[in-house]
Amino acid sequence: MVKTPVVIQPAYTIYFEAYEGLTWTHADVRQWTPTIAKEFYNVHGILNVIHGQPFYCLVDNSKLEKFVKQLGYKFVKEAHCVDDITRSIYRYG
């Protein structure tokens, strides 16, 4: 499993990771302001349109859960992961 950067900005990087036929997203956020947030949300939506398939992400803390919900991700189910941690799966698009 390889995380591939698909958007690289000074304030953040968005990655795709293919796993079991699905596209999983990751983000490294280095700076966050209202202007950066608006850009991030717009870029994320455009990526989804271009990609043409839903994105998925794993959530294991309340801060990340709030973030993905603000982006528009919807809860799918709980998953017990190979590292013995239960995480929530969220879907976008």
Dump pLDDT digits (tens) for 7-30: 999 999 999 999 989 999 999 999
Q: For position 82, what pLDDT does the model report? A: 85
pLDDT of residue 81 exceeding 90 = no
pTM: predicted TM-score of the whole model, two decimal places: 0.89
pLDDT of residue 72 exceeding 90 = yes
Residue written as tokens 């990771």?
17
**Residues near 29 by beta carbon (within 8 Å), at least 6 away in sequence:** 11, 12, 40
What are the chain's domains?
4-92 (3.40.630.30)
**Mean pLDDT rounded to a whole number for the chain:** 94
